[in-house]
């Protein structure tokens, strides 16, 4: 989330240790014994299913579906914070179905297995002279999971991963494989952000662009200045985002453009240890948060990085957190963010992690966050060791008042009735889901709640 000058680490670390003056507990690992056990990246979602499968191809997947009883859910990189994955019955990983399947140099398309991680797919694209139009800054998610939740990067002219699809193969619960493309209308539009509720994706084909290189510039500035920069430059800059520290009134801005200039030397790996330390100290000494937030931005290195797109997009995230993200209409984004920041400041909330602010182009999915309108996404994070409901419950009503649509893979409290108010395509999606899976075999408790389906 941030790059810190290695020569300044010792000073910042000493400052925080002196200010905190407390013992920091170690992270405990759950002991699942001999039972099957799954948990997501942050540990806020867990499951102990009756069966867990790792099919290598469509035939194996078909046999698993035919034999499965109860609910079936697929997990990918396990980076979602919402309850999309957990079930007590059958869980499936598509990790064995990964890698590039084929590509078309003339059409600039490439097809991948569903378990392919974004980082792997992006590197394989580079090898054939192609690049994704855009990428998120975390690249460890599986392609199928990222598409199912409309995962996105930043850029007013650049769509989410769902908006980059040319086609896919989708296996229904009875084992039939559907070849879907834009010619399939609403069914394809539903599958572009499916929540894993329509079937199981077995292949994804992306509309790519010729391989390109990027220059990424990191700046530190006051929060008001960062907002003004975003307002002025968002239509002039390929990728623009910032991380807001409301209580420190500071921000880290990232400006990314295409470049033909030479690559910069690889940056020394950042362990993120200072971010974890700052989070621990802030959690236990909340009166220090404004000072620590200001100090961390002072110690962030203002730098320029250049290289292949897939190298520059990726950022290391080794400190777990829980996250809520809402996407509001683009022209209301900064106004909404100001209210969120004011709420955190005025209530002196115990949160150190910054708020991420990004723009994304509209797409044609049925229930993606960017369906029919470009969006401003506001991502609120809480350190994984901290209780997050106080923070999220305080800011969620603000984002909902701005017609916010929650990120499907992140925490929110909306139900089917409230979601229908911001997702015009939700009823069409529900109808298509019932046609493809009339018994609700793919629906866990969370999906039944947000889609308005009765409990099993």
**Which of 47, 150, 166 minimizes the C-alpha distance to 367?**
150
- The pTM for the full model equals 0.91
CA distance 360 to 133: 12
Q: What confidence score (pLDDT) does residue 173 get?
A: 97
Q: What confidence score (pLDDT) does residue 307 get?
A: 96
Q: What confidence score (pLDDT) does residue 280 get?
A: 87
Here the tokens at position 114 are: 């569903």
- Taken in order 211, 217, 218, 222, is the CA torsion positive or negative? negative
φ and ψ at residue 251, rounded to 5 degrees: -155, 150
Tally Cβ neighbours within 10 Å of residue 57.
11
**Which of 41, 136, 37, 114 minimizes the C-alpha distance to 79?**
41
Q: SS in 3 state form for 104-165?
A: ECCCCEEEECCCCEHHHHHHHHHHCCEECCCCCCCCCCEHHHHHHCCCCCCECCCCCHHHHE
H or E segment and range at residue 170: strand 165-171
Cβ-proximal residues to 453 (8 Å cutoff; 6+ apart), any chain: 430, 440, 443, 447
**Which of 83, 63, 81 minimizes the C-alpha distance to 73?**
83
Here the tokens at position 356 are: 């991420």
**Which of 318, 392, 316 minimizes the C-alpha distance to 351?**
392
Query: Strand ranges (DSSP E) for 186-261?
Result: 200-207, 209-210, 213-222, 239-245, 250-258
Here the tokens at position 449 are: 């709640």
Residues counted in the chain: 456
φ and ψ at residue 364, rounded to 5 degrees: -110, 15
**Which of 136, 144, 180, 159 minimizes the C-alpha distance to 364?**
159
Q: What confidence score (pLDDT) does residue 408 get?
A: 97
To the nearest whole percent, how much of the chain has pLDDT over 70? 91
Q: Is 38 helix (H, G, I), strand (E, B) or coil?
A: strand
Mean of pLDDT over the chain: 90
pLDDT in tens, the chain (456 residues): 444 444 444 434 433 333 333 333 333 334 445 589 999 999 999 999 999 999 999 999 999 999 999 999 999 999 899 999 999 999 999 999 999 999 999 999 999 999 999 999 999 999 999 999 999 988 989 999 999 999 999 999 999 999 999 999 999 999 999 999 999 999 999 999 999 999 999 999 999 999 999 999 999 999 999 999 999 999 999 999 999 999 999 999 999 999 999 999 987 666 577 778 888 888 888 888 888 888 777 777 788 999 999 999 988 777 889 999 999 999 999 999 999 999 999 999 999 999 999 999 999 999 999 999 999 999 999 999 999 999 999 999 999 999 999 999 999 999 999 999 999 999 999 999 999 999 999 999 999 999 999 987
> 96: exposed, middle or buried (C-beta count within 10 Å: 0-12, 13-18, 19+)?
middle
CA distance 369 to 151: 9
Strands 405-406 and 321-329: antiparallel
Here the tokens at position 23 are: 């013992």
Q: What confidence score (pLDDT) does residue 6 get?
A: 43
8 Å CB contact between 180 and 151: no
- Domains defined for the chain, CATH in brackets: 6-17+212-406 (3.40.462.10)
Q: What confidence score (pLDDT) does residue 231 get?
A: 96
Q: What confidence score (pLDDT) does residue 266 get?
A: 81
Q: What confidence score (pLDDT) does residue 287 get?
A: 85
Q: What confidence score (pLDDT) does residue 291 get?
A: 87
Q: What confidence score (pLDDT) does residue 394 get?
A: 98
Q: What confidence score (pLDDT) does residue 318 get?
A: 75
Q: What confidence score (pLDDT) does residue 27 get?
A: 32
224-269 confidence digits (pLDDT tens)? 999 999 999 999 999 999 999 999 999 999 999 999 999 999 876 6
381-435 confidence digits (pLDDT tens)? 999 999 999 999 999 999 999 999 999 999 999 999 999 999 999 999 999 999 9
Q: What confidence score (pLDDT) does residue 286 get?
A: 87
174-207 confidence digits (pLDDT tens)? 999 999 999 999 999 999 999 999 999 999 999 9
Q: What confidence score (pLDDT) does residue 290 get?
A: 86
8 Å CB contact between 202 and 115: no
CA distance 204 to 197: 16
């Amino acid at each position: 989330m941030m790059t810190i000058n290695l020569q300044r680490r010792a000073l910042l670390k000493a400052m925080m240790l002196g200010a905190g003056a407390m013992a920091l507990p170690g992270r405990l690992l759950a002991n699942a014994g001999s039972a099957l056990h799954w948990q997501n990246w942050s540990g806020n979602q867990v499951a102990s299913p009756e069966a867990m499968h790792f099919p290598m191809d469509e035939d194996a997947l078909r046999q698993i579906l035919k034999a499965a009883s109860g609910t079936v859910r697929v997990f990918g990189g396990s980076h979602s914070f919402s309850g999309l994955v957990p079930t007590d019955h059958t869980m499936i990983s598509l990790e064995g179905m990964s890698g590039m399947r084929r590509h078309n140099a003339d059409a600039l398309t490439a097809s991948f297995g569903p378990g392919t991680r974004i980082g792997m797919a992006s590197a394989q694209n580079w090898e054939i002279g192609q690049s994704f139009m855009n990428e998120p800054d975390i690249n460890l998610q599986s392609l199928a999971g990222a598409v199912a939740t409309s995962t996105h990067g930043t850029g007013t002219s650049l769509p989410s991963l769902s908006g980059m699809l040319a086609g896919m193969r989708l296996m229904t619960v009875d084992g039939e494989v559907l070849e879907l493309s834009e010619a399939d209308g609403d069914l394809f539009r539903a599958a572009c952000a499916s929540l894993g509720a329509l079937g199981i994706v077995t292949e994804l084909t992306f509309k790519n662009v010729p391989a390109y290189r990027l220059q990424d510039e990191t700046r530190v500035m006051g929060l008001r200045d960062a907002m003004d920069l975003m307002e002025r430059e968002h239509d002039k800059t390929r990728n623009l985002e910032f991380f807001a520290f409301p209580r420190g009134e500071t921000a880290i801005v990232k400006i990314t453009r295409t470049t033909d200039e030479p690559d910069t030397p690889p940056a020394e790996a950042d362990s993120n240890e200072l971010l974890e330390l700052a989070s621990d100290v802030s959690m236990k000494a909340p009166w220090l948060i404004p000072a620590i937030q200001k100090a961390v931005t002072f110690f962030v290195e203002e730098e320029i990085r250049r290289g292949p797109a897939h190298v520059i997009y990726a950022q290391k995230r080794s400190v777990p957190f829980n996250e809520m993200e809402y996407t509001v209409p683009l022209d209301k984004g900064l106004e909404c963010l100001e209210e969120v920041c004011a709420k955190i400041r005025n209530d002196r909330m115990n949160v150190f992690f910054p708020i991420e602010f990004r723009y994304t182009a509209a797409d044609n999915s049925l229930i993606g966050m960017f369906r029919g309108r470009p969006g401003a996404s506001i991502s609120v994070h809480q350190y994984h060791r901290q209780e997050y409901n106080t923070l999220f419950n305080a800011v969620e009503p603000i984002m909902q008042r701005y017609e916010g649509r929650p990120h499907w893979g992140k925490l929110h409290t909306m139900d089917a009735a409230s979601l229908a108010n911001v997702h015009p395509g939700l009823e069409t999606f529900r109808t298509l889901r019932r046609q493809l899976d009339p018994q609700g075999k793919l629906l866990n408790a969370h999906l039944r709640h947000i889609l308005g389906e009765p409990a099993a």
